[in-house]
Amino acid sequence: MSRETKQDRLVRGMNDQVLEHLHELKALEANPATKELDLERWCQSVVRNCLGFTPTNGYNIRAQETRGKMRPDLLVMKGDVIVCVIEVKKLGFDLSKSDFRSGKVQLAEYLNALGDVRWGILSNGYEWRLYDFSQRNAGGTEVTSFDLRNEEDQIDLTKRSIDDICWSFVDLHESMYAGNSWENLAKEATAFSPESLARAILSAESVKYIAKIIRGEHDYRANTEVLFDKLSTLLQNGLDDCAHGWNEVKQAELGKYVTSQKRAGRRRAAKEAKTSATPPPIKEGTSEATQEACTPPNPTAKQAA
């Protein structure tokens, strides 16, 4: 019998609460009179009862009683310290909006106003996204996200689906925050960001390896500088779609990086050529005849002779 992990215990412990809250969400979904405030109260209950941010664990969830500019919907607090800001949009709201109504933009504004708050959660009831705002100039890094709906955009209440949803909620659980898993997820998200992956792919070593693969597959020895340009163009076309906030400044920065990697490739090639042209050092005790045999011919010396 396999040993139960910490995550297994979390999933088992939150299963009943998640099922109950999904029934409530379906009721909100079916009610045309559902308001954003109703969903906010539901999200507050999820954070407390499913995600473990309870008074027993030392947390208090503060809802903003008055509405207005620069007032986040929910504050998750431990003592007097704000752990996380939660912005709740209306049910099914497009969380990927890039204009001023975007929940992520609002989160960034709230955290800037509140000061030293790192974490933000954005939800429209179905979708949940955790952001790391430790790098303010980056505008927030999406650490993890999931959708409670299935592939048919419906809430599935079967046992298997509930288990899957519980596993999705695990990353947002209080024990994951307390155990620094959020920080590790943030590091992973930064390392695997489209910009980071693009730089890794466009490094001199990677391009050299890609050229080797191309030669093996197509029997073609690629010019590495041409390959740099082709890969860069390919990635930039993709980055326009998959990298949030991709713009001319970032594109120019990537262009500078590609240029630096080309130069690094040239320097490496020159160094390798110089090394291969230098005769190997002669070991002590080698005879003169052996030394002469090991020394490459000097065409200049022959002409002089």
Q: Which CATH number fits domain 6-179: 3.30.2350.10, 3.30.830.10, 3.30.230.10, 3.90.1570.30?
A: 3.90.1570.30
Beta strand segments in 105-159, E: 119-123, 127-132, 141-147
> Rounded distance, CA 203 to CA 261, Å?
6
> Rounded distance, CA 21 to CA 164, Å?
15
Helix ranges restricted to H, the chain: 6-30, 36-49, 103-114, 159-170, 174-178, 181-191, 194-201, 204-218, 224-242, 248-277, 288-294, 299-304
Helix axes 194-201, 248-277, angle to 10 degrees: 20
Helix (H, G, I), strand (E, B) or coil at 248: helix
In this predicted structure, the answer to whether residue 279 has a pLDDT above a threshold of 80 is no
CB 180 within 8 A of CB 171: no
The owner of tokens 């110089």 is 274
Q: What is the pLDDT of residues 220-272, one digit of tens each?
A: 999 999 999 989 888 888 777 767 778 888 888 888 888 888 888 888 888 88
**Does the reported pTM lie above 0.85?**
no
In this predicted structure, the answer to whether residue 304 has a pLDDT above a threshold of 80 is no
Beta carbons within 10 angstroms of residue 36's beta carbon: 15
The half-sphere exposure of 270 on its side-chain side, counting CA atoms within 13 A, is 6
Beta carbons within 10 angstroms of residue 147's beta carbon: 15
CB 187 within 8 A of CB 52: no
CB 19 within 8 A of CB 162: yes
In this predicted structure, the answer to whether residue 191 has a pLDDT above a threshold of 60 is yes
The half-sphere exposure of 100 on its side-chain side, counting CA atoms within 13 A, is 2
Helix (H, G, I), strand (E, B) or coil at 127: strand
Question: 250 or 79, which is more confident?
Answer: 79
CB 42 within 8 A of CB 28: yes
Instruction: For residue 5, give both structure tokens.
Output: 């992990």
Q: What is the pLDDT of residues 140-189, one digit of tens each?
A: 889 999 999 998 999 999 999 999 999 999 999 999 999 999 999 999 99
* pLDDT band with cut points at 50, 70 and 90 for residue 299: very low
